[in-house]
Structure formats: structure tokens, C-alpha cells
Amino acid sequence: MRKFSALIVFLFLFVVGFSGIAMSKEAPKYIKVGTLYASSGPFAKPSTAEFKGLNFWVHYVNSKGGVYVKAFHKRIPVKLVAYDDQSSTATATTLYNQLITQDHVDMLVADFGSVLTSVAVPLAKVHKILLFDVTGTGSKFFTPDNPYIVLCSLPTSGRWPYTLADFIISEKINRIAIVYSSNDFDQSQAVTLHNKLKKAGVDIVYYHAVPSNTSNYSIILHNIKAKNPNAVIEFGYPNNDIAFLQNLESSGLKFNMVFTVFPGQLFKLLKANVGVKALSYGYTYPTPPLLRYNKVNLGMGIDKFEKEFKKYSGKTPNFLNIAGYNAGLIMQKTLETSKKFDQLAFRKAINEFSGKAFTLDGLFKVNKEGAQIGEMLPVAQFVPQGQGLKMNIVYPPSMKTAKAVYPAP
């Protein structure tokens, strides 16, 4: 009995000691968030805008004493570790790897868009660190065998044209021309739109891919005109949209409907580069701040955010500022929810609040692969108003604010 009692005491002390070791892990001094941005190259403007939004989130939570981390039951300041990838995927690969293997960041955030996110996805998977993907919407990133990615601030690009296709079908617009940049972000939109319209019996009279660095669409526009379409859809990045609309304006060609992607995200940038006339009666996907979400349960509503962001930066925010801030909110909620300070525990926590968190960017909801499925991109049209433009939502009916002006005058 004495030996048995001694054994019990030994096991008790061992368990207590082991638990003490397990519980003695100290909270870090900072939550290290690692990311990249592009100060130059074709993605510089959207990337720096997104980065500024993430910076604002860091500034704001640190002004409150840091972010609350449930695993340590305390607030901890956030430290942002960031490097300039200069819009280069080769440079980005090296720098993402540095953030993971040398800086040992706690949370990894992707740079803007699908191109610069693409090299982060396999690295995050190999090193088993959860990638907070802000705007890299390429559908190929999200697979059942990869739990180390979550899309924060936009739905996957293959879902974007759902409402656009439904709008075209509902308006009985036939003879459609589609030109798209040959990257996953734009190609996935083109494929979705093409397939949905073809299934509905809509004629696709022009369907053509161009390199992502295309800066002159003059010949393409004349080739499209020869097909006599009733609507022209151009899927591209901001530089593509700018070049396309500038060339369209200078060509003197007219189409009944013209759709481009980024006027709804970077309205001021597009307006400054192409002018009011080139955007008049054009269509786009509207995003915040053109969409106004104030009834939120995570972070600030759009009105408060605009006020605080302007106080911080001196400028009115655009969508990509909002997207960067929104990614910060998702990380914040993850840390507030996760019971363990562990990458897969972070992913599990995201599953717990998915579909329940509503931010200034809309409903945050992801599927099993980490793809964003909660946010909706309606269809909007810019119409002249005085010396400027007014945005009307023309589809879906539940969000509609005005009837589309079709054909364009």
C-alpha cells in the first residue's frame, strides 16, 4: 500500500508539473503580423492603399492597448513587419519566406490581389501558417487539402459575375463581347460569365484574353465593334480598366453597355485618370464606401470608419483601405475567439464566427476551403449628375435604387 500510495503521489506531482510546464508559456510581447506591399510596379496604387488600411487597423487597436488574445486572457499590442515586393512575384516569394522562417510572424497577411497572393499560398501551406488573404480572389487558391488560407475582404472572383449575368439576362441584352486579362482573377470571372450567359442562350460574339500588362486596347476595341455587340465587358486590374476606358473615349466608338471592374473599388483613381465622360453610363461592381454598411457587430461602421481614417491619414478612404482594415478585423476576431495560440486553432475559431460577423465590408462567411461566400457584389451604373456622377444600383432587385439607363445615350 505504501508503494501504491507513493506511486499515486508521484503521478499526481508529474501531472501537476507537466500541466505547469504547459501553462507556463508566456504571452508574447507583441503579436507579430507579417505582410508585403508594393511601392512600385503595376500593383503599387492598390497595394499601398490596402497596406494603409491594415496599418490603420494596427494603429487603432494599439491605441486601445492592443488586441485581446483569448489564449492568454489579455490585450497584447500588434507589431507590423512589412517588406516591399515592388509588384514582383519573385521578390514576394523571397520576402514571404523571410517573414515565415526568419521573422517568425504569428499571423501572415497577403499583398494585394491574386497575382501577389499566388506565391504566398503554397508557402503558407508548406510552413503550416494561416494566410489571411485580403483580396487574392483566385478560385484555385481554395482547395479541400489546404486549411491554411482564409479570404477576408472579397468573395472569390469566380462568384463576382453572378449578379452581372443575371442582370444581362433579365434585361434581355444579347450579343455580348468579353475581353479579359489572362490571370486567374480575371479569367475566372470571364469563364463564369461566359458559361452562365451561354446556358441562358445569350450570344457571346467576342471572347478574347489579353496579357495582364496590356496598355493599349485600340485594335481590340475596333475588333469588338466589328462584331456589333449590345454590351462590352472588360475584366482587368486597375491599369487595364484605365487603358481600356481611355482608348474607348479617344476612339469615338459607342456601345450600348460597357462594364469594367475597378470603378466600383477605386472610383477616385479611375475618375482622375479617365474623366467623368468616360465613366458616364458605365457599369461596375460597387463596393464600400459606395455601399454603406453601418449596422455592424465587428469593428466600425462605414460612417465612423471614414471619420477615423481621415483623422489618421488626412484622406477619405477607398475600398482597398477598407479591405486592409477589414482583414485586420478578421485577425482581431480570430484572436478574440481562439482558445489556443495555434495556427489550426485560429482556423477553427474562424469557422466558429463565420456567418455571424458583419463588418463595414458586409457579411463575413467562408466555406470549408476558406473562400469568402458571404459578401455580395451588386451591379451599379454611373449616371451624370451636375458636373459629376451619381451611382445607381441596378441589380439585384432587393438592392436596386434606380432603373438602368440602357442603351447608353
Q: Using one digit for the tens of pLDDT, what is the confidence trace for 178-192? A: 999 998 899 999 999
Average pLDDT of the residues of the chain: 94
pLDDT in tens, 34-61: 999 999 999 999 999 999 999 999 999 9
| 31-156+291-364 and 161-284+378-395 in the same fold | yes
> Within its chain, how far is the Cα of 75 from the centroid?
27
pLDDT in tens, 67-80: 999 999 999 999 99
- Which superfamily, per CATH, for 31-156+291-364? Response regulator (3.40.50.2300)
Q: In which order are the strands placed within the sheet that holds 78-84? A: 78-84, 31-37, 107-109, 131-133, 149-151
| Continuous H helices in 290-377 | 302-313, 319-337, 343-353
Q: What is the mean pLDDT of residues 326-342?
A: 98
**Position 1 pLDDT exceeds 50:** no
Phi, psi dihedral angles at 239 (to 5 degrees): -65, -35
Tell me the C-alpha distance between 378 and 191, whole Å.
18
Cis peptide bond N-terminal to 378, omega within 30? no
The domain limits of the chain are: 31-156+291-364, 161-284+378-395
**Position 17 pLDDT exceeds 60:** no
Pairing of strands 231-235, 204-210: unpaired
The pLDDT-based confidence of 18 (bands split at 50, 70, 90) is very low
**Position 64 pLDDT exceeds 70:** yes
pLDDT in tens, 230-241: 999 999 999 999
Question: Coil, helix or strand for 40?
Answer: coil
Pairing of strands 258-260, 231-235: parallel
pLDDT at 11: 45
Smallest CA-to-CA distance from 240 within 219, 270, 205 is with 270
Hey, what's the cell of 369? 476551403
Q: Which residues pair with 36 in a beta bridge?
A: 83
* Contact criterion met (CB below 8 Å) for 161 and 167: no
Hey, what's the cell of 127? 510552413
Hey, what's the cell of 17? 508539473
* Contact criterion met (CB below 8 Å) for 381 and 408: no
pLDDT at 2: 53
Secondary structure percentages of the chain, helix, strand, coil, to 5: 45, 20, 35
Q: pTM of the prediction?
A: 0.86
pLDDT in tens, 80-132: 999 999 999 999 999 999 999 999 999 999 999 999 999 999 999 999 999 99
The single-letter DSSP state of residue 25 is: P
Smallest CA-to-CA distance from 166 within 400, 391, 363 is with 400
Contacts of 226 (CB under 8 A, 6+ apart): none
The pLDDT-based confidence of 376 (bands split at 50, 70, 90) is confident
High-pLDDT (> 70) share of the chain, %: 94
pLDDT in tens, 121-131: 999 999 999 99
**Position 371 pLDDT exceeds 70:** yes
Task: Give the CATH fold of the 161-284+378-395 domain.
Answer: Rossmann fold (3.40.50)
pLDDT at 6: 47
Residue burial 6-19, b: 16+ Cβ < 10 Å; e: rest: eeeeeeeeeeeeee
Pairing of strands 388-395, 379-385: antiparallel
pLDDT in tens, 244-284: 999 999 999 999 999 999 999 999 999 999 999 999 999 99
* Contact criterion met (CB below 8 Å) for 325 and 80: no
